[in-house]
Amino acid sequence: MPKTIRYTLLSLRDLAVPAGPFLVLALALLVLAYWWLDPNPPKRVTLATGPAQSAYEEFGKRYVKILAQDDIEVRLLPSEGSAQNLQLLREGKADLGFVQGGTSESRPDDETNLESLGSLFVEPIWLFYRKDAAGKAPGTAASLDALTQLQGLRVNVGTPGSGIPSLMTKLLTSNKVDMASLTTSELEQTPATVAFLDGKIDAIVFASAPESLMVQMLLQTPGIGLMDFPQSEAYSRRFAFLSPVVLPRGVVDLAVNLPPQDVRLVAPTTALINRNGTHPALLQLFFQAGKQINGGAGWFRRARDYPNLANNELPIGAEAERSIRNDKPFLQRYLPFWVANLVERMWLVMGIIIAIMLPLSRVIPPLYAFRVRSRIFRWYGQLRDIENRIESTSGKTGTPELLEELKTLEQRAEKISVPLSYTEELYALRNNIQLVRRKLQKL
């Protein structure tokens, strides 16, 4: 082995002894900090969506696609709708879910176990009716503009899990409409739409974003009308979870001017709700995905109106507040997500660890120097003992024995290996051995 490599390895071995405990302590602190902060999120998360062909299902598919770019698998959990999503969150069967305001009664422990990641979009109440059926109802025209005009009609108010029956009960009660005056049904969205188009149902109620395929189809179906809510502002004052919105003239199809006039609607706001304990990095990714999905202009929003922190019935999560104020983190723009997330969540602890370890690291150079020099200095004790015995030796008595000891000491000194920076002290030991030998030879 070349001498240069041998001396380098020797220096590293000598350095490892004093630096070893320091490195072990630093590694232990890093492992402890990693365990405590848990910076990297799990690779799989469950999102409660909604019925087939609903807006919730469509949005869920978009979240799947966006989070897959960061190697996060989003498992979609179909449900009947908002109310069931809230129940799935309460039971821990979902990590996140779409929940519509006003569609379920809150529980005392909801504010402890659940939090909002922000409002994503409004879901207008779409009350579609058959124009031929509306004209047959007593005291009504061929178009509906009040909930009181539903009396005597067959109305599907959605499945209980969707939360729409609860919402419609509140609205009908506020209009002093006796539920017994309606023939209500609670069919799922697809069967209800088929029955509606077949004339077996007179009116059907959705609370959905306009991205819903059912909504898009019914808006363009001949003979189907959309109920106007001229009292939309009053509804929003009576119910905090409702907002007045307007479906602008021609927004569905500009070429055929559909709808032919502005339609006033009332709309609860849908928020993305998560269970407390969901990894903060996952929440950050979902909020960023929400900006991509819901941040553009739409039928009922302007660009960058959503996500926002308004109209939330549950406490706002810290990650939502942080994300709404800041753009995408700087490191995530240039590094893979897991690397950027690790640095972002560990940098403060890393700073604390460095602040602790820097003063401790100052003892390493003295310990290193002491370890190397001790190989040389420990022989000075034997050399001094020989020199002291020379002074007590009379004449040449004992001189051969002392010369033999010096020879042995010199042979051992020649075998001492030290880093090149300490060879001067090694040669000094050898020179001192020669000085003692000459002194002994003079006797």
CA 176 to chain centre: 46
Percentage of residues in the chain with pLDDT exceeding 90?
28
* pLDDT tens for each residue of 103-134: 767 788 888 899 999 999 888 999 999 988 87
pTM: 0.65
The token pair at 300 is 């009922």
- Amino acid letter, residue 432: N
**Looking at the domain assignment, is residue 421 inside a domain?**
yes
**Looking at the domain assignment, is residue 144 inside a domain?**
no
**Looking at the domain assignment, is residue 125 inside a domain?**
no
- Structurally, how many domains does the chain consist of? 1
Peptide bond into 108 cis (omega under 30): no
Name the pairing type of β-strands 224-226 and 125-130. antiparallel
The token pair at 369 is 């120097």
Return the exposure string of 219-242: e unless at least 16 CB atoms fall within 10 Å of the residue's CB, then b.
beeeebbbbbbebbeebbeebebb
Residue 335 carries which DSSP code? S
Choice among 48-62, 204-218, 342-356 with the minimum mean pLDDT: 342-356
Residue 390 has pLDDT above 60, yes or no: yes
Between CA 241 and CA 249, with CA 247 as vertex, the angle to 5 degrees is: 165
Q: Do residues 129 and 144 lie in contact, with contact meaning Cβ atoms separated by under 8 Å?
A: yes
Q: 417: domain range?
A: 363-441
**Looking at the domain assignment, is residue 400 inside a domain?**
yes
* Residue 208, phi then psi, degrees to nearest 5: -150, 155
Please state, in angstroms and rounded to a whole number, the distance separating the CA atoms of residues 211 and 302. Answer: 15
Q: What is the mean pLDDT of residues 237-253?
A: 88
**Looking at the domain assignment, is residue 165 inside a domain?**
no
Q: Do residues 119 and 147 lie in contact, with contact meaning Cβ atoms separated by under 8 Å?
A: no
Among 368, 364, 338, residue whose Cα is nearest residue 26? 364
Q: Do residues 271 and 119 lie in contact, with contact meaning Cβ atoms separated by under 8 Å?
A: yes
Q: What is the pLDDT of residue 9?
A: 46
**Looking at the domain assignment, is residue 302 inside a domain?**
no
32 CB neighbour count, 10 Å cutoff: 12
Please state, in angstroms and rounded to a whole number, the distance separating the CA atoms of residues 261 and 296. Answer: 24
Identify the top-confidence range among 106-115, 187-196, 304-313: 187-196
**Looking at the domain assignment, is residue 377 inside a domain?**
yes
Name the pairing type of β-strands 263-275 and 224-226. unpaired
**Looking at the domain assignment, is residue 429 inside a domain?**
yes
- Amino acid letter, residue 107: R
CB within 8 Å of 28: residues ≥ 6 apart: none
